[in-house]
Amino acid sequence: MKRKSRIIAMLLTLLLTVTLFAGCTKQQEPTGTNQPPQTPAGEETKTPEPSKPAEEKKIKIGLSLATLQEERWVRDKEVMEALCKEKGAELAVQVADLDAAKQNSQCENLISQGVDVLIVVAQDGEAAAPIVEKAHAAGIKVLAYDRMIMNSDVDLYLSFDNVKVGELQGKWLTDNLDKGNIVWLAGSPTDNNAKLFKQGNAKYLQPKIDSGDYKVVMEQDVVDWKPDNALKLMENALTANNNNIQGVLAPNDGTAGACIQALAAQGLAGKVPVTGQDAELAAAKRIAEGTQGMTVFKDTRELGKAAIEAAIKIAKGEDPGANNTVNNNKIDVPSILLTPVAIDKNNLDKELIESGYLKREDVYGN
């Protein structure tokens, strides 16, 4: 019995030694080598995982702008550039200079560069549809920025409530002109927004027209939103009516500036109410001086931020969080729509200066 218990004791000691030794060798496994640690099958490795590919790879966003003609697009671009920098994303920008064919080929270029998402401000809402098809064929999602891309499967639309923009313009004009001859200009016929603005204008202007209070002496589109085109139209309207014009619906600040130039040449600047849109610095100055009645503030800081945030989410396969849908004659496009604000001399300081959008010294010169 004694011998048997000695053998058991020896075996136990041996087992303990082997176990301890095995434990020691495990602890002493080299850590600084390039060899991946050996993990028993089915056991989770304790080694820190390399960071996930989505975090590692820099997101690349393509931005195709129709124009930088209006100050607002410069601001939109700057906001997006700053935010991409902050978020560690790359932004590749192309500007089509009001040329729809050029925009399509610039977008093809961005697609072949392998952008993760494409943001497009369409020069021509209909002509931009193939951009969406080509991007989709390459697995790239497309965001229509500010202007809808029509008849396409565009993935997301980010804009303001554009009918509301037109309503704000129409309301201001009818609040500030009871009766008279009016010039009613609309934006570029290739821009879907121009139709929406005009639809909003009509809500207020049409009843005045129908009642005979307003006589429309000119109703025209401003091709490409060009101030030069608006200038010629306004000069013609003044000449044809012997300056007998009492109100001007100008669709944005660029065209408003041109109409006011034509009015000024006849000594009528400040005497005829003129609308606008975009809260450009030049427009804010004219409002302060009294030659332009109003503008519409669409905070590009907010829209630019929403677009980059949405683009990054889409690139990561996340839901961008649309709060609306807008039909583009093909589908109901998931949309993010922000609210525009009417600005006149009464709220210019509060909305534009105190919010930091414009500088007091730039607007008032002191």
Which residues between 189 and 218 bind ligand BGC (CB under 6 A)? Answer: 191, 193
List the one residue from 75, 141, 147, 285 that touches ligand BGC (CB under 6 A): 147
Taking contact as CB under 6 A, which single stretch among the options 6-14, 99-107, 166-174, 187-195 is the one that binds ligand BGC?
187-195
Which residues between 213 and 232 bind ligand BGC (CB under 6 A)? Answer: 225
Taking contact as CB under 6 A, which single stretch among the options 135-143, 185-193, 235-243, 281-289 is the one that binds ligand BGC?
185-193
Which residues between 95 and 134 bind ligand BGC (CB under 6 A)? Answer: none
Q: Which is nearer to ligand BGC, 121 or 348 (CB)?
A: 121
HEC string for 191-233: CHHHHHHHHHHHHHHHHHHHCCCEEEEEEEECHHHCHHHHHHH
CB contact set of 203 (below 8 Å; sequence gap of 6+): 166, 167, 170
Q: Which is nearer to ligand BGC, 247 or 276 (CB)?
A: 276
Q: Which is nearer to ligand BGC, 197 or 214 (CB)?
A: 197
Helix (H) or strand (E) segment spanning residue 295 = strand 295-297
Is 75 one of the binding residues for ligand BGC (CB under 6 A)?
no
Structure token pair of residue 326: 């807008």
Beta strands 214-221; 180-186: pairing state: parallel
User: Whole-number minimum distance, CB 194 to ligand BGC, in Å?
Assistant: 7
Largest CA distance in the chain: 132
List the one residue from 59, 61, 64, 72 that touches ligand BGC (CB under 6 A): 72
Structure token pair of residue 229: 């085109």
User: With the CA atoms of 105, 107, 113 and 119 taken in that order, what torsion angle do they form, in degrees rounded to the nearest 10?
Assistant: 170
Is 167 one of the binding residues for ligand BGC (CB under 6 A)?
no
- In 3D, which of 171, 185, 59, 196 has the Cα closest to residue 119? 59
Q: Which is nearer to ligand BGC, 116 or 166 (CB)?
A: 166
Binding site for ligand BGC (CB under 6 A): 70, 72, 146-147, 187, 191, 193, 225, 252, 277-278
